[in-house]
Amino acid sequence: MKKANTLFLLLFFPLLLWAQLDSSFLPIVVINTNSLIIQDEPKITADMGIIDNGPGQLNRLTDSFNNYNGKIGIELRGSTSQFLYPKKQYALETRDEFGENANVSLLGLPVENDWILHAPFGDKSLIRNALAYKLAGKIMDYAPRYKFCEVVINGNYRGLYLLLEKIKRDNDRVDIARLNPDENEGDDLTGGYILKIDKSNAGTYDGFVSKKRPSTTGMQTIFYQFHYPKPGDISTPQVEYIQGFMDEFEEVMSSAQFNDPINGYSKYIDVNTFIDYMIINEIAKNVDAYRISTYLYKDRDSIDGRLKMGPVWDFNLGFGNVDFCMGPSPQGWVLDYEDYCPNDFWLRPFWWTPLLQDTTFRGKAQDRWEYLRSDIFSNESLQACIDSLVNEIGAAQERNFTRWPILEEYVWPNAFIGGSYEADLNYMEEWLWDRLAWLDGEFENFREIPYEASDYFDPIVYPNPSDGPITFEYYVRESEKVKIMLYDMMGRYISTLEDTEHPNGMNRIIWNTPPGLNNGLMYVFYFNEEKIKSGIVLCNK
């Protein structure tokens, strides 16, 4: 068997002698694309073999493929890394000889067919994602499991990777009810669903836009993508159900009764999952949290129909590894990202603001933080976790940085360039201890100190130009009053619009333009009698 495998390597990998890898204490993943180019969909068919002789055992490229030896479909993945970094990430599915999906266990992970080869590149510690997933796995229902490995593709050593579980519905992943296209009524219709907030060029055919805007000055929206069932599988009644559920939840969150103990947010969400999601992402100060690579899921009502946050995903830009929007500082909440970068297109949903204003939610978050910091998230436990990951990688980091000599280079968006693996690792560790100390101070009186959300955000006025009604949309807290003074283009007073009782959050006043307003409209916004914005709306009447 060993001779046959050696012959296979010599036949299909003539460049193998040039690879910077001959053996490793990590599993070795060997992929042969048979001269096909791996592209950004569709997946191409390739051969994959995995060598894993067990913990503490040396794996050699000439050893037999003893963990997997078969067909895969493989494609590039990553919205930014795919184009920015030479070390590519891949999505793959294990297949049988007929090209159909084959559920298998890879490197001891639970049986499935969808996998990811994650390529740490800009993360020079090589462990940011592994650390976050390991921490999340200790406190959340599910976090993606992983195995470190080294990868060779077509005889070319590609460096250190994480074989990672792709987020999907499965009894061993996101464990919610299977939802078939013909399940369109009753309890069956209520779950399970996985939604995703992420970058997308997609239209409404694979998701829906929130009716509530983020609390910003721009025209950003929140787009909920269908992750499960997939866009091609989800039926019209299922689309209507999950969109209706989210609409109802968001209406409650924008009302003054959002924290009612019976009909408020606790009726719609599993609060504990929201808190754990927040804690993991705030520890890492993951700038993508809440707004990109963000998952939510819902099971059937008969099981537990409340909306849950998670699983967590993608921490390359966490733990101080980002040089924009307050990312390098160990202080500041990621939840306040829109205050640092209000013009960013991808922003968190508005409903985090009322949640953070609720003393019950804040009290539970404080209790959870103090419990975790007393034990599994203590500095000692976290240091042990980091050390175990570094020890597991071992000498593979040296080979990785021989293949990719970037330790002395800026790789977007590095906040620190250490010049050595040890320096980058030390930077991440020191940043983490400073971050935890800051969070300890913030959580110390979390339940007593109200969340200092902005009292208002500059209003949005649309459409402009307009040939009919004009909408004035604005965000305010509690009972703060807004007044809008309207004038024609000659400066002559037309009307005053004043809000009445309104919910905390996004609100709007719609004004029907009177006849004869051909030259446009001037408006002035007042918040508590203080002028906050003025502008012009062109009229096409």
The whole-number pLDDT of residue 378 equals 98
425, part of any domain: no
pLDDT of residue 523: 85
Vertex 99 angle, CA 95 and 100, to 5°? 65
Cβ-contact 420, 401 below 8 angstroms: no
Give the CATH number, domain containing residue 488.
Answer: 2.60.40.2150
Domain boundary among 144, 165, 186: 165
Cβ pair 451, 353 in contact under 8 A: yes
Which amino acid, one-letter code, is at 245? F
Helix 359-373 to helix 271-284 angle, to the nearest 10 degrees?
A: 60
CA dist 319 and 435 (Å) reads 9
Q: What is the Cα–Cα distance from 196 to 207, expressed in whole angstroms?
A: 9
Phi, psi of 381 (to 5 degrees): -65, -40
Cα separation of 25 and 51, whole Å?
Answer: 10
pLDDT of residue 203: 44
pTM above 0.85, yes or no: no
Is there a domain that residue 30 lies in? yes
- The verdict on residue 92 lying in a domain is yes
Identify the burial level of 150 via C-beta atoms within 10 angstroms of its C-beta, where 0-12 means exposed, 13-18 middle and 19 or more buried.
buried
Question: Which residues of the chain fall below pLDDT 50?
Answer: 1-4, 6-19, 202-204, 217
Cis peptide before 349 (omega within 30 of 0): no
Domain residues for the domain of 94 are 2-165
- Of the candidates 332, 297, 330, the residue with the CA atom closest to the CA atom of residue 313: 297
Residue 159, in any domain of the structure: yes
Question: What angle in degrees, to the nearest 10, is found between the helix axes of 128-139 and 379-393?
Answer: 130
Q: Is 417 within the bounds of a domain?
A: no
Residue 107 makes CB contacts below 8 A (sequence gap 6+) with 27, 50, 52, 67, 147, 149, 163
Q: Would 246 be classed as within a structural domain?
A: no
Q: What pLDDT was estimated at residue 11? A: 43
Task: Check: CB of residue 160 under 8 Å from CB of residue 400.
Answer: yes
Question: Terminal CA-to-CA distance of the chain, rounded, Å?
Answer: 82
| Residue-level pLDDT at 8 | 45
Q: Of 130, 148, 165, at which residue does a domain stop? A: 165
Judge contact between 16 and 152, C-beta under 8 A.
Answer: yes
Number of structural domains, the chain?
Answer: 2
In a domain, 447, yes or no: no
Per-residue confidence (pLDDT) for residue 538, from 0 to 100: 80
Q: 142: closest CA among 153, 154, 155, 133?
A: 133
Residue 519: what pLDDT? 74
pLDDT digits (tens, 9 = 90+) for 55-110: 999 999 999 999 999 999 999 998 778 888 999 999 999 999 999 999 999 999 99
The reported pLDDT for the residue numbered 205 is 57
Confirm whether 146 is domain-assigned: yes
> For residue range 335-359, what is the model confidence (pLDDT) as tens digits?
988 777 777 788 899 999 999 999 9
- Distance, in Å, from the CA atom of 139 to the CA atom of 135, rounded to the nearest integer, reads 7
Q: Which of 101, 130, 165 is the last residue of a domain?
A: 165
Q: Alpha-carbon distance 462 to 335, whole Å?
A: 27
